[in-house]
Structure 1
Amino acid sequence: MGAPEEEERPPSDITVFGANCTLHGLSHIFLPGGVTFRRLLWATAFSSSLSIFLYQVAGMIILFYQYPHVTILDEMDSPLMYFPAITMCNYNSYRKSQIRRNDIFWMAGMLGVEQADFDDFMAALGQPTDNSKFFPSKTFNMLEFVQRTSHSIDEMLLDCKYRGKECGPENFTTGDEKPVKRPCQEDVL
């Protein structure tokens, strides 16, 4: 009779976990078999990396709970200040009360309005739908259309104060005008 055969031991749970884990390095550390120099190097590299990571995380958490802040404020007085640049946007580009049938005739393609729908579109705008006396112009001026139908600063500006002084539409320029620097002194806005 021969020597009894040694039964292979099933791998331990940690070996199975290490072999199937996607955490970089563990599959090189936890292998079946004895301890080797290569496994010790992998274990040292993994432990060192994990320690440095946890050290940095702990440092950031401690810093977070110390609530550090830096506030630097430089204040300078100026005898002459210019009115600040302000942008006011109105998503309603055109006032529907100012759109005319001629505008619809020329801009129908841009507005997605078919010629058969002109009357319905005009009714939706609150304009007369009588088409019998309508004759479109020979040309169309887009600049005139925009100036006529756009919202004006006089209508949009309800209240304005700057440095305790009243201001109004005269202190503003539109995007197509050249910006004017208006000094804000005691007697001038």
Structure 2
Amino acid sequence: MELKAEEEEVGGVQPVSIQAFASSSTLHGLAHIFSYERLSLKRALWALCFLGSLAVLLCVCTERVQYYFHYHHVTKLDEVAASQLTFPAVTLCNLNEFRFSQVSKNDLYHAGELLALLNNRYEIPDTQMADEKQLEILQDKANFRSFKPKPFNMREFYDRAGHDIRDMLLSCHFRGEVCSAEDFKVPVQVAKETLRLSTLPSPGLHTIWKVLYIQLGPRWASTAEDHEGWDWQWAGDNAGHPAG
């Protein structure tokens, strides 16, 4: 008997109508749309206003989310006038210490191992990692059959195969005047760099500096005449792998 009474009690619960839910909802306008009145112009206008407001809300939220993911930022600049401007020191750090196109067969014969292009048996190491076109050129240059080596000078190689400011400087203006490669002087200070690098156990280009230092001597250092506001350092002072 008790079980049957509980079933009748549960079965007698009626779901809440949408009119009852709308009348108790705090959502503005919902009670006017789903009212107990018959369909009228008033209910249609309330429904139209409600749907329009909902559409505007969705558009604004979508636009704000898209704006956020564009990650806009503001950069503020302060302009300061200076009566005299000193040209800053410029250092170009090339990844390639030497231009591969300028390396000759004689250079490879004498300094191929120092350039990390050949091993101690005059063979090309790690051929599978090299560029196909450069590997073909290197194989042709590394063919020393019936080759008669010529005297080799590290300073001449450095000047010939190193980077030239005339090839790298595309445009230059300072204090409203046009400047060119002739306005720059290249200070070469190998002695200090060699003393610093000679303490490192790393192979490759460090060895080149040691050989260069031995051939040229500790006095091979030239400092150019400094123009007012000019200071320039050659890109070759920052070493990288020469292949490329």
TM-score (normalizing by structure 2): 0.37
Q: Greater RCO between the two (CA within 8 Å, min separation 6)? A: 2
TM-score (normalizing by structure 1): 0.47
